[in-house]
Structure 1
Amino acid sequence: MARPDSALEPMTDADHRRVSAAVTAAEANSAGEIVTILAEQSDSYGDIALAWSALAGLIALIALSLAPDFYLGLYDRLTGAWMQEWTPRELFGVAALVAAIKFAAVWLLQLWRPLRLWLVPRPIRNRRVHARALTCFRVGAERRTTGQTGILIYLSLAEHRAEIIAEEAIAAKVPAEVWGEALAAMLVELKASHMADGLIAAVSRVGVVLAEHFPRANQDVNELPDRLIEV
C-alpha cells in the first residue's frame, strides 16, 4: 500500500486515454484483466467527526463540573449580572448550552476536509480505504472473468493511499508482496505529482507479473473495461 503526495495534478482526458492505453498494452500479453479506479475519498468519516464533537461536548461538561465558580463567574461578567444565584434548573441549562456550543463548533470545524481527515487516526483511514477498495473490487472485478484473473489498482486521493487487490487465481500464484514493487513504482511518480504516470507505472508492473504467470491464450477476449474509473 502506497502513500502518495498530496499535490497531484488533476487528471485530464488525455491522461485518461493514456491510462486506458497502458491497461490495454499490459493485458496484451496476459490473460489478466486490470481494473483501475481513482477515488476522490474513500469515506466521509462522519462517525469520527461525530465522536470528536461529542468528546468536545463531554470535555466542556467535565471542565464546568470541575471549576463551576470560574465558568459561572465568567458568564456573569459577560452578561453583566451581579452575584447571580443559580438554581439547579439554570445550572443544567447552562451546562447543556455549553456542551451544545462545543459540539457544534467542533462539528463545523470538521466541515473543512483537511482537518477532518487529519483528526481520523491513520489505522482507521487505512481500514476504510481497504474496505472501499475491496468493495470496488467485488463490484468491478471479482468473478467477472472466465479464469478469475481480475486485479484492481485502487488509488484514494484524500487519504493518500493506494491498494492492489487480486482475484483468487492470481493470488494463488503471486504473493501479495510482489505487488509492492508496482505500488513503489506508482509512488515514485505520485511524489512528483504525476498521477497519470503513477497509475501507468503500476499498470505496467502488474502487466509484467501477469504475463509471466498468466500468458495470453489465442482465444482470450477482453472481459473488463480498460478505462480508468473515477468514483
Structure 2
Amino acid sequence: MRLSEADHSRVTSAVTRAELSTDGEIVTVVAGRSDAYHDVALHWTVLAMLLVLALLAWVPSPVEWLHSHLIDAWSDTPPRWYLTFALLLMAVTFLAARLLLALDGVRMLLTPRATKARRVHRAAMKLFRTAAEKRTKASTGVLLYLSLAEHQAEIIADEAIHGRVEPEIWGAAMAALIADVKDGRPGDGMAAAVEQIGAILAQHFPRSEGDTNELPDRLIEL
C-alpha cells in the first residue's frame, strides 16, 4: 500500500500546524514494512522438515509400502530405505516450504506478533537516531513511525521530551493512528496522531520567541 499525494499533503500540513504552537519538531515516516523476515521463513522451513522426519518415525508404513511394491514384497525393508526416503521427503518439504514462504503475505502471517513488534521498534529506533535524535538545539524532536505491513507504529521522543512526558501519554495518538490504519486510511491516522502529539508538545514545550523550523515537515515514505 502506498500513500497518495493527498495523504502526503494532509500529513505534512498537520505537522506544520502542530509545530506552530510548540518548540517541538515532529518527523513522520511511513514504511511499507520494517523487515523482510527471511529468518522467520527459514525457521518455519526447518520446522517443517523436522516435522516430516517425526511423522516418518511415528508412521513408517509409507516406506515399507514403497519397498514392498517397488523392490521386494517378501523381504523386510532395510534401514537404508528409511534413511533414503526420509532424505528425499525432507528435501521436497524444504523446497516446497521455501517456495510458499517466498510470498510476503505468508511470511507476515506466520511471523509472531512479538517478533514484528521487536523489528518495528528496531527500525524506528534506527530512523530516530538518523532523523530526529539531537537534531534540534533543545533536543525536542519526536518521530512518528508507521509500518504498514505489520499494522504497528512507534512514537519515539528526544531526550528533553522523554524527560518530561511519560510514554503512556502518547497512547491516544497511537490509538487514533492504528484505528485509521486498520480502516485503510493511513494518511488520516498519521494526521490525527500528529495533531495529538502537537497538543502534548504545546503543553510541555510551548513555542518560544525566535523558534525556527529545524526539521522538515514533509512525510517521508520508505
Unaligned runs of 5+ residues in structure 1 are 1-8
The separation in 1 between residues aligned to 2:140 and 2:205, in whole angstroms, is 8
Judged with a 3 Å threshold, the aligned counterparts in structure 2 of structure 1 residues 119 and 192 are, in CA distance, closer, same or farther, namely closer
Aligned to 2:120: 129
Which residue matches 1:72? Answer: 63
Aligned equivalent of 1:151: 142
CA 1:179–1:106 in 2, change beyond 3 Å: closer, same or farther?
same
Q: Any residues of structure 2 matched to 1:160-175 within 5 Å, and which?
A: 160-175=151-166
CA deviation after TM superposition for structure 1 residue 108, in Å: 1.3
TM-score by length of 1: 0.88
For 2:28, what is the secondary structure of its paired residue?
A: strand
Q: Does the Cα contact within 8 Å between 2:34 and 2:120 map onto a contact in 1?
A: yes
Determine if contact 2:32/2:148 at 8 Å carries over to the other structure. Answer: yes
RMSD: 2.0
Deviation at 1:188, TM superposition (A): 3.6
SS in 1 for 2:21: coil
Q: CA deviation at 1:46?
A: 0.9
1:36–1:152: 8 Å Cα contact kept in structure 2?
yes
Q: Distance in 2 between matches of 1:74 and 1:124?
A: 42
Q: Confirm or deny: 8 A CA contact 2:67 2:81 kept in the other structure.
A: no
Going from structure 1 to structure 2, the CA distance change for 1:90 and 1:153 (only over 3 Å counts) comes to: same
SS in structure 2 of the partner of residue 154 of structure 1: strand
Cα distance between partner residues in 2 of 1:163 and 1:13: 23
- Whether the 8 Å contact between 1:10 and 1:195 is mirrored in structure 2 is no
For 1:162-217, what per-residue CA distance to the aligned partner results, in whole angstroms no more than 9, with x for missing partners?
11111110011111111001112223433432211111000011011111111122
* Over 6 Å off, 4+ runs: none
Instruction: Name the SS for the 1:28 alignment partner.
Output: helix
Opposite residue 19 of structure 2, the aligned amino acid is: E
The residue identity in structure 2 corresponding to 1:35 is: V
CA contact (8 A) 1:181 1:205 kept: yes
The residue type paired with residue 92 of structure 2 is I
* Identity level (%): 46
Which residue pairs with 1:4 in the alignment? Answer: none
Secondary structure at the counterpart of residue 43 of structure 2: helix
1:219 maps to a residue whose letter is G
Are residues 1:216 and 2:207 paired? yes
Pick from 154, 176, 189 the counterpart of residue 167 of structure 2. Answer: 176
TM-score by length of structure 2 reads 0.91
AA partner of residue 167 (structure 1): D
Cross-structure match for 2:194: 203
Bigger shift: 95-104 or 188-197? 188-197
